[in-house]
Amino acid sequence: MLQEVSIKPADLSAYETIIKNGLLEEIQTLAKSLKGKRVLHLNATSSGGGVAELLKSLLPLMQNTGLETRWFTLTPNEEFFTITKKIHNFLQGRKGDLTQKEKEYFLRYGQKLSTQLDIKQFDLLVVHDPQPLPVILNNFHPSIWHCHIDTSKPNKNVWKFVSPFIRRYDRYIFTLRKYFGPGLDYKKLRFFTPAIDPLSSKNTLLKEVYAKAVLKKFGLHPDEPLITQVSRFDHWKDPWGVIDAYRVAKRKMPNLQLALIGVLAIDDPEGKVILADIKKYAKEDPNIFILTNLDGVGPLEVNAFQCASNILLQKSIKEGFGLTVSEALWKGKPVIGGNCGGITVQIKQGKSGYLVNTPRSCATKITHLLKNPKLALEMGEYGKETVREKFLMPRLLRDYLKLFQEFN
């Protein structure tokens, strides 16, 4: 039921010229008393989503600081992941309920999962998101549950089912204070935002000629205006609304192109269904490009699309944080995002981009930015400095080390 992901230590000093002054020294000071601590991180999968991407960069840095860090994921199980995707949606407020059969399956899986870990092998357990939540049935302590979604207004039926598991943990990490679910112990709450890795292949600076070559490879016209949304194929990301906004903007910008790029993750069976529906909704428009990892789009290609786009979108209707917003801002691009959740923390209205509520308002901002390239450039520069200050990986490492100190 569990598989270990190999981790190779990363060089923390490589970030010294990128991050704000004093952060590296603070990390080194915090790490001294934690050296040798055995920390285990557990999440659903090692690829395909924001959590996996975050851990790929964070955990090697943890090892570099002297923590004995290990990473386990769940063995792919379509039935279980179908149930946990439902739980994910219910925790963000979708109506309905799990069936009794689904609840029993989730419990049985959790009981088996809890027996797979040997408590003697680690000093700290960090569990990410709802999928491995019931591993706590074996009463691992000290333990931390890191919730990457918004549970502020969860489905009451499903919250009643899962919240007893959450309460067993010694600490809860939430992205924002307002995401804190009802009935939990406020004293256990810690909150800090996710972060991106500026040195990863997805975020290193690419030459314009390379980025344009990637666009050509996938059939786009690199010299025509392009808007792009990078995200999972998920109801909450509102890809239909993105297409609607593109269609309205295209009336004034006939050469406008739209790219929708996402990963089909093994823990998200719903993704294939939504992808098929989006392709149908696009109505074979030759200027709409819907691409996935199955088309050969990896981190470097995503980087190229972000670098080559005029504007980047994240028109979510519900969003825990939205790492793609930080990625886009780091590329020096203006971002138009849904006026919700963690997106509102990253985009400063009118400074680094725009927050919108409808496809029509999104379209208005698209055409405004395309007609004002100087403004778009200024917004991009402002957004990049915001990310440097708040949303780079060493800062997230610092936050974790401070939390681990509480159990030292």
Segment 337-380, tens digit of pLDDT: 999 999 999 999 999 999 999 999 999 999 999 999 999 999 99
Largest CA distance in the chain: 64
Q: What is the pTM for the complete model shown?
A: 0.91
Q: What pLDDT does 268 receive?
A: 80
Q: What pLDDT does 254 receive?
A: 96
Distances in whole angstroms, Cα of residue 202 to Cα of each of 108, 275, 354: 38, 23, 23
Distance (Å, whole) CA 400 – CA 406? 10
Asked whether the predicted pLDDT for residue 257 surpasses 90, the reply is yes
The answer to whether 274 and 239 are in contact (CB under 8 A) is yes
Most confident among 9-13, 34-38, 47-51 (mean pLDDT): 34-38
| Sheet with 2-5, side-by-side order of all strands | 2-5, 68-74, 38-43, 124-128, 143-147, 171-174, 189-191
Q: Where are the domains of the chain?
A: 2-195+392-405, 208-390
What is the average pLDDT score of the chain? 94
Q: What pLDDT does 132 receive?
A: 92
Which helix (H) or strand (E) segment is 70 a member of?
Answer: strand 68-74
Asked whether the predicted pLDDT for residue 50 surpasses 90, the reply is no
Tokens 């005029």, located at residue: 310
Q: How remote is the C-alpha of 113 from its chain's centroid?
A: 25
Confidence band, pLDDT 50/70/90 cuts, at residue 396 = very high
Confidence band, pLDDT 50/70/90 cuts, at residue 54 = very high
Can you say whether the dihedral through the CA atoms of 102, 78, 125, 236 is positive or negative?
negative
Confidence band, pLDDT 50/70/90 cuts, at residue 77 = confident
Q: What pLDDT does 76 receive?
A: 79
Distances in whole angstroms, Cα of residue 100 to Cα of each of 78, 97, 105, 134: 18, 9, 9, 17
Q: Which of 144, 147, 146 is nearest to 124 (CA)?
A: 144
Q: What pLDDT does 9 receive?
A: 86
Q: Mean pLDDT throughout 2-26?
A: 91
Q: What pLDDT does 114 receive?
A: 87
Distance (Å, whole) CA 91 – CA 103? 14
Our CA angle for 165, 166, 169, nearest 5°, is: 100
| Euclidean distance between the first and the last CA atom of the chain, given in angstroms as a whole number | 30
* Of the candidate ranges 68-72, 116-120, 257-261, the one whose mean pLDDT is the lowest: 116-120
Q: Regarding predicted confidence, which is higher, 117 or 128?
A: 128
The answer to whether 362 and 268 are in contact (CB under 8 A) is no
Q: What pLDDT does 198 receive?
A: 96
Q: What pLDDT does 116 receive?
A: 85
Q: What pLDDT does 113 receive?
A: 87
Which are the contacts of 42, defined by CB distance < 8 A and separation ≥ 6? 2, 71, 72, 73, 117, 125, 126, 127, 128, 132, 135
Confidence band, pLDDT 50/70/90 cuts, at residue 32 = very high
Q: Mean pLDDT throughout 301-323?
A: 95
Q: Mean pLDDT throughout 133-160?
A: 93
Asked whether the predicted pLDDT for residue 119 surpasses 90, the reply is no
Give the CATH number of domain 208-390; options: 3.40.50.2000, 3.10.20.70, 3.40.50.1980, 2.30.42.10. Answer: 3.40.50.2000
Confidence band, pLDDT 50/70/90 cuts, at residue 291 = very high
Q: What pLDDT does 20 receive?
A: 80
Confidence band, pLDDT 50/70/90 cuts, at residue 321 = very high
- Please report the DSSP string for 2-29 in residue order: EEEEP-----GGGGTTTSPTTHHHHHHH
The answer to whether 338 and 316 are in contact (CB under 8 A) is yes
Q: Does residue 142 have a cis peptide bond before it, meaning omega lies within 30 degrees of 0?
A: yes
The domain 2-195+392-405 having CATH identifier 3.40.50.620: the answer here is: no
User: Percent of the chain beyond pLDDT 70?
Assistant: 100
Confidence band, pLDDT 50/70/90 cuts, at residue 139 = confident
Q: What pLDDT does 331 receive?
A: 96
